[in-house]
Amino acid sequence: MYSCIFSDTEQKEYFRIIGKGCIYNSENNTVIKNEVISVFTHFESHGWGTTQPIREDFISDSTGYFYVKFIKKYNGEIPTGYDIVSKWIPYNKISQANSTIILDTIFIN
Which domains occur in the chain, in start order?
2-108 (2.60.40)
d(CA 26, CA 89) in angstroms, rounded, equals 24
pLDDT score recorded for residue 46: 65
pLDDT score recorded for residue 54: 93
d(CA 68, CA 45) in angstroms, rounded, equals 24
This prediction has a pTM of 0.81
In tens, the pLDDT along 3-41 reads 454 455 678 999 999 999 999 888 888 999 999 999 999
d(CA 62, CA 43) in angstroms, rounded, equals 33
